[in-house]
Amino acid sequence: MRLLGLDFETTGLDPKKDRIIELGAVLWEVEGSLIEAKHRPLLCHDIFLYERNYPKLEPIITDLTGITQEMLEEFGRDPGEVLSQLNEMVKEYKVDYIVAHNGTSFDRPFLQAELARSPHVFAEIQTVPWIDTRTDLPFEKEPDSVKLKYLAADHGFINPFAHRAMFDVLTMLVVMSKYNMQEVVARSKVPNIKVKAMVSFSKKDIAKQRSYHWDGVLRVWHRTIKEDQWEDEVKYFADHGVSLEKMQ
Q: What is the pTM of this model?
A: 0.91
* Helix residue spans in 54-180 (DSSP H): 59-65, 69-75, 79-92, 108-117, 148-154, 165-176
* CATH superfamily, region 2-188: Ribonuclease H-like superfamily/Ribonuclease H (3.30.420.10)
- Domain residue spans of the chain: 2-188, 192-246
Return per-residue pLDDT of the chain as tens, 248 residues: 999 999 999 999 999 999 999 999 999 999 988 888 999 999 999 999 999 999 999 999 999 999 999 999 999 999 999 999 999 999 999 999 999 999 999 999 999 999 999 888 878 899 999 999 999 999 998 888 899 999 999 999 999 999 999 999 999 999 999 999 999 999 999 999 999 999 999 999 999 988 898 998 889 999 999 999 999 999 999 999 999 999 97
Contact 161, 167 (CB under 8 A): yes
Q: Is 206 helix (H, G, I), strand (E, B) or coil?
A: helix
Query: How far is Cα 24 from Cα 139, in angstroms, rounded to an integer?
Result: 25
Contact 60, 12 (CB under 8 A): no
Q: Please report, for the chain, how many H helices and E strands are present, in that order.
A: 9, 9
Query: How far is Cα 161 from Cα 24, in angstroms, rounded to an integer?
Result: 13
